[in-house]
């Protein structure tokens, strides 16, 4: 019971806006000391130590570093300009090239913020200048940028791998098909929209002065670097040359090499990238430590057993549980972000899923798809904030909210497909 009250109090306190990590830690401290005494917190050093020795999570700072360095190579810019030239002449072409660039960036890194900001700065003004519908333009950018979290390598998948005890490489592999399907559906949606409402995404007149052949060559040249990185990172993981953590270091060094090739390298650049990485890493791990304290108090006061028993008795058994789990994650995703959900909610759901004989890999992909949606759902979707931060003033927050709606629906459609037809995605729902 104490656990449930603590949960409620923590959610209320979060709304005050104090940093999430310390709100969880602080609330846990009061309830823990009250229920079990100070000595409960003698466990904390052991728990922190097990995070310190956790080589799976070591991939988190390394992949972030790779993404941040990549952002500074101006790779996204080159891709967007050349792809825009290549497809811009078609109706909806700019939106489709945004999706394709988003997919390429997604497969070479896992950093959503960088992709959304880059596309918001480059792609959005071009689309708006060519009379694209604001909603379609902003929705496309947010959705394309968010692909980074479902297409491997991805921070969500690494964290889920750790929390659910699954090999991160297997999760990466399992996420490939859902990611590709999602990208395909985005493109299909844009094509249908441009058919139904041609005025929302008009073709762009060709004014680059380049011949078609030159356009193709520049586009190909721009695609080589991210492809090379994808081969190094995903290739080394899938072929077994390196563990995900090791390949993230290969990617980090690879990104620095790309910066050298693009003449963007400087020691200051690497240092700035390191600083940004440390900040984001610190934020993720602070939440992890706060969540650890919170879960510790929750489980030592018996909250986990209570919830577990309740969930095991849900009507509809496995399906009832899956629906509940997905709804809980979706709703919480409106308010808190994927890190808290992964570290606090998923560990409560996991043993129940296991007890019900659910295939954990499939379950993890469902959670990852669902968490991805939280990047797009107002009011706390990160992608929305990033885009609003760099969008011109005439783009209203409500435009962005309305713009992402169809993409949220597409994500939920894919989620539903994975639930109902796991075999289409190369998985099975149970063992």
Q: Which long-range contacts (CB under 8 A, 24 or more apart) does 33-38 make?
A: 35/2, 35/297, 35/300, 35/301, 36/297, 36/300, 36/301
394 binds, among Na ion, other proteins, none (CB under 5 to 8 A by kind): none
Q: Map residue 130 onto helix, strand or coil.
A: coil
Choose between 137 and 158: whose C-beta lies nearer to other proteins: 158
Choose between 86 and 147: whose C-beta lies nearer to Na ion: 147
Choose between 302 and 426: whose C-beta lies nearer to other proteins: 302
265 binds, among other proteins, Na ion, none (CB under 5 to 8 A by kind): none
The answer for residues whose C-beta is within 8 angstroms of residue 250's C-beta and 6 or more apart is 232, 233, 236, 242
C-beta of 280: minimal distance to other proteins in Å?
A: 6
Per CB under 8 A, 1 contacts other proteins: no
C-beta of 237: minimal distance to Na ion in Å?
A: 12
CB–CB of 391/137 below 8 Å? Answer: no
The answer for residues whose C-beta is within 8 angstroms of residue 123's C-beta and 6 or more apart is 80, 84, 94, 97, 98, 101, 137, 141
Per CB under 8 A, 114 contacts other proteins: yes
Near Na ion by CB under 5 A, which window of 41-49, 55-63, 108-116, 313-321? 108-116
C-beta of 420: minimal distance to other proteins in Å?
A: 29
Among residues 110, 120, 303, 403, which is the contact residue for Na ion, using CB under 5 A?
110
Residues 303-362 that bind other proteins (CB under 8 A): 335-337, 339, 351
42 binds, among Na ion, other proteins, none (CB under 5 to 8 A by kind): other proteins
Among residues 1, 39, 213, 431, which is the contact residue for other proteins, using CB under 8 A?
39
61 binds, among Na ion, other proteins, none (CB under 5 to 8 A by kind): other proteins
106 binds, among other proteins, Na ion, none (CB under 5 to 8 A by kind): Na ion
39 binds, among other proteins, Na ion, none (CB under 5 to 8 A by kind): other proteins
Among residues 8, 34, 37, 55, which is the contact residue for other proteins, using CB under 8 A?
55
Per CB under 5 A, 151 contacts Na ion: yes
277 binds, among other proteins, Na ion, none (CB under 5 to 8 A by kind): other proteins
- Cis omega (within 30 of 0) on the bond before 427? no
Q: Pick from 315, 268, 302, 247: which is nearest to 108 by CA?
A: 247
CA pair distance 194, 340, nearest whole angstrom: 38
CA pair distance 232, 294, nearest whole angstrom: 38
CA dihedral over 109, 400, 417, 187, signed as positive or negative: negative
Per CB under 8 A, 68 contacts other proteins: yes
CA pair distance 64, 109, nearest whole angstrom: 8
C-beta of 390: minimal distance to other proteins in Å?
A: 11
C-beta of 389: minimal distance to other proteins in Å?
A: 6
Residues 221-240 that bind other proteins (CB under 8 A): 239-240
Residues 254-283 that bind other proteins (CB under 8 A): 270-271, 274-283
Per CB under 8 A, 153 contacts other proteins: no
Near other proteins by CB under 8 A, which window of 92-100, 222-230, 321-329, 381-389? 381-389
Per CB under 5 A, 106 contacts Na ion: yes
The first and second tokens of residue 344, run together, are 């606090």
Report in angstroms the alpha-carbon separations of 347 from 4, 235, 351, 430: 15, 30, 7, 19
Report in angstroms the alpha-carbon separations of 390 from 33, 83, 384, 385: 45, 21, 10, 9
What is the end-to-end Cα distance of the chain in Å, rounded?
33
The first and second tokens of residue 87, run together, are 């497809």
Q: Pick from 319, 412, 418: which is nearest to 365 by CA?
A: 418
151 binds, among other proteins, Na ion, none (CB under 5 to 8 A by kind): Na ion
421: Cα separation from own chain's centroid: 23
C-beta of 167: minimal distance to other proteins in Å?
A: 5
Among residues 289, 345, 368, 427, which is the contact residue for other proteins, using CB under 8 A?
289
Per CB under 8 A, 395 contacts other proteins: no
Per CB under 5 A, 148 contacts Na ion: yes
423: Cα separation from own chain's centroid: 24
The first and second tokens of residue 257, run together, are 């090499």
Residues 404-423 that bind other proteins (CB under 8 A): none
Which stretches of 197-240 are DSSP H helices?
212-230, 236-238
List of residues contacting Na ion (CB under 5 A)? 106, 110, 148, 151, 154
């Amino acid at each position: 019971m104490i656990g449930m009250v603590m949960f409620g109090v923590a959610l209320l306190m979060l709304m005050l806006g104090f940093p999430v990590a310390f709100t969880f830690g602080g609330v846990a401290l009061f309830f823990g000391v009250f229920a079990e005494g100070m000595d409960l917190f003698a466990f904390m050093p052991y728990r922190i130590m097990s995070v310190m020795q956790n080589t799976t999570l070591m991939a988190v700072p390394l992949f972030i570093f790779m993404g941040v360095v990549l952002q500074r190579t101006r790779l996204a810019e080159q891709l967007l300009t050349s792809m825009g030239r290549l497809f811009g002449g078609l109706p909806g072409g700019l939106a489709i090239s945004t999706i394709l660039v988003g997919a390429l960036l997604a497969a070479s890194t896992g950093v959503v913020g960088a992709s959304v900001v880059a596309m918001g700065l480059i792609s959005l003004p071009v689309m708006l200048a060519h009379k694209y519908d604001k909603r379609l333009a902003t929705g496309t950018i947010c959705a394309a940028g968010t692909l980074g979290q479902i297409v491997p390598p991805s921070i969500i998948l690494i964290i889920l791998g750790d929390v659910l005890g699954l090999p991160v490489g297997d999760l990466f592999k399992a996420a490939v098909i859902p990611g590709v399907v999602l990208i395909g559906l985005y493109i299909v949606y844009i094509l249908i929209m441009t058919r139904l409402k041609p005025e929302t995404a008009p073709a762009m007149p060709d004014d680059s002065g380049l011949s078609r052949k030159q356009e193709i060559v520049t586009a190909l040249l721009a695609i080589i670097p991210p492809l090379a990185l994808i081969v190094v990172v995903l290739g080394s993981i899938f072929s077994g040359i390196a563990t995900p953590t090791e390949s993230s270091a290969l990617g980090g060094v690879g990104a620095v090499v790309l910066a050298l090739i693009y003449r963007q390298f400087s020691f200051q650049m690497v240092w700035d990238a390191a600083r940004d990485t440390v900040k984001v890493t610190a934020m993720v791990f602070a939440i992890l430590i706060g969540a650890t304290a919170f879960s510790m108090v929750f489980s030592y006061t018996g909250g986990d057993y209570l919830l577990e028993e309740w969930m095991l008795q849900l009507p509809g058994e496995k399906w009832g549980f899956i629906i509940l789990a997905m709804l809980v994650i979706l709703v919480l995703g409106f308010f808190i972000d994927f890190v808290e959900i992964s570290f606090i909610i998923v560990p409560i759901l996991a043993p129940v899923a296991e007890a019900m004989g659910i295939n954990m890999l499939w379950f993890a992909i469902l959670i990852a798809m669902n968490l991805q949606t939280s990047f797009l759902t107002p009011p706390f979707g990160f992608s929305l904030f990033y885009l609003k931060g760099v969008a011109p003033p005439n783009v209203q927050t409500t435009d962005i909210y309305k713009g992402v709606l169809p993409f949220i629906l597409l994500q939920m459609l894919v989620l539903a497909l994975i639930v109902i037809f796991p075999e289409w995605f190369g998985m099975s729902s149970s063992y």
